Each structure stands twice: as structure tokens, then as C-alpha cells.
Structure 1
Amino acid sequence: MMLGEVIAKVWPDKILPSLQGRRLVLVRPRTDGPDLVAIDPLNVGVGTIVLVVTDEAAAAATGEPTADAAVVALVADSPTER
């Protein structure tokens, strides 16, 4: 698990059929590390601090075996949404 900030929505040109209709976001981890694309079942906004799980936990949280990362909790709203 990691804390990260949602920095953008992701709009893919092509997507796997199993991910069709799923919202994707770009998350910047609070610790050092690369940004990652995560499935977002919570519909969080840009600037929101979220809890992200990866690998098997992401697959379990989304029900999608190919999921590598998923937002599972909203930690803090973005200042613009308050």
C-alpha cells in the first residue's frame, strides 16, 4: 500500500476489453518512485490524496486479474473541492 496524490485523469486511446468503462487516474506516490496509473472505482478528483494497492491486492480490490494498481481509499480531498 502507498499514499499518493492523483495528478491527472487518464484517457486511453485503446484499452483492454476487461478494463472498458473503468476510470483510470495517474497517481504520484508520496515517497520516491515513478508515477503510476491506477484503476479508480471511487471516482476521486485531481489533487486528492489516496491509498493505492498494487499487484494481487489491486486485482482483489477491483475483481480484475490484470489490475496492477487500484485506488482503495480517499485520504484527503483536494483543496479546490472543499
Structure 2
Amino acid sequence: MEAQSERRLLQWLKGDLAIDEVGFVPLSKTGAELLFQFYAARYEKGSMTLTSNLDFANWTQVFKDEQMTDALVDRLTHRAQIVTDLSKA
């Protein structure tokens, strides 16, 4: 939200990106919408590494909108390599 207010959001659309602990901090409705728009804008434009302790099924708790969460997971998992920590099994 800070990057958007300072009109710096576009600089994050290029290059590789790592985002750690998706879902660790609850998002406001505006924050969730901005994050969705950011991911959608980066879709197939650069690689992203995301980490989260939440299963995709629980991401609705973070983004607070089932339809937006489904669309986001679709974009993130398309042509993705998903690695899970099997040591917890």
C-alpha cells in the first residue's frame, strides 16, 4: 500500500521477486485487492518465489474473497513448481 501511495509499485513488476510468509499478517480488503492486482500484473512477466505456512485452501482467510483467491491461486500455480515440506507428515 505504501509503494502504491508513493507511485513506486510499477518498479516491482520487473525481475525476479521473493515474497515470504504469505498469510502471516492479515490483510485489509484494500491490501488484499492491491496484492491481487500486483500478482495479476506480474503474471508471466517474471519469476516469483512465495512462501506460506498456509495451504491454498486457507488463503481465503488472507484475501477474504473466495473468487479473488481462486483467481490468484490459478495464476500463481500455472506453470509453477510447488514445493511442500514433507517432513511434517
Interval of TM-score (by shorter of Structure 1 and Structure 2)? under 0.3
Look at both structures and tell me which one has the larger radius of gyration over its CA atoms. 2
**TM-score, length-scaled by structure 1:** 0.23
**TM-score, length-scaled by structure 2:** 0.22
Structure number having the greater strand percentage? 1
